[in-house]
Amino acid sequence: MNEQVSFERYSRVAVFLHWVMAALILVNLILAVVSANSEGGAHRVVLNLHKSIGFSVLLLSLARLAWRLYRPPPPMLAGKAAWERPVAGIVHTAFYFMMVLIPFLGWWVSSAAPKRHAINVLGWEAPFLPVMQGKAFAGAAMAGHKVLGFTMAALLVLHIGAALKHHFIDRDKVLSRMTFPPLQSRA
C-alpha cells in the first residue's frame, strides 16, 4: 500500500473493526427488541445472546478507540454541502460514545438487577460492576440504555443513508475507502 492510498483510506484494521462491529450492533439491536417481546426459555436464550454480543461490542469499542488513537483516520473528504462534514463528524463521535456507553449501561443493568444473571462471553463469565442493586437502580440504568440504544438506531438510518447516497448518487469515494478491497471507483 503506498502512502497516498493509506492517507486517503481507512486502515485495514479500522475497516475490519467497522464492519465486524456494525454487524454485531445491528444483530444486537434486533435481539434486544426480540428479547423484550418474548417470554420463558426463548427470552432467556435471546437475552443471554444479547448480553454476550453487547459485552463483546464493549471490548471491541475500547480496542477500536485505542487503534484510532494509534492510527488516526484519514481526513474527511470534502462534502458537496458545507454542513456535511460537521454533521458526519458529530454522528461519528456520537457513535463512539454510544458504542461504549450503551453496553456499559447494559452491564450496569445486569449488575444492578435484584436477582443477577451471569453475563457469559464465549465461555468466560464477566464480573458484575460494584453498583447498588435494586429495582430502581436497574430501572434507571435500563432507561438510559434504551434511550441511547434507540437513538443509535435512528442515527444509523442517517449514517447508512448518507453512505449509500455518497456511493450511488454522488458517486464519490466515501464508501469505497471504508471497504477492503476498495470498491470499484464509480466516478
Binding site for ligand HEM (CB under 6 A): 18, 22, 25-26, 28-29, 32-33, 35-36, 47, 50-51, 54-55, 57, 68, 73, 76, 88, 92, 95-96, 102-103, 106-107, 109-110, 119, 145-146, 149-150, 156, 159-160, 163-164, 174-175, 177-178
Shortest Å distance, C-beta 50 to ligand HEM: 6
Four-residue CA torsion sign, 142, 145, 151, 157: negative
Shortest Å distance, C-beta 8 to ligand HEM: 10
Shortest Å distance, C-beta 186 to ligand HEM: 13
The enclosing H or E element of 120 equals strand 119-121
The residue type of 98 is M
Beta bridge partners of 121: 124
Chain-centroid distance, C-alpha 55: 11
Q: Kindly state the cell numbers that stand for 98.
A: 454510544
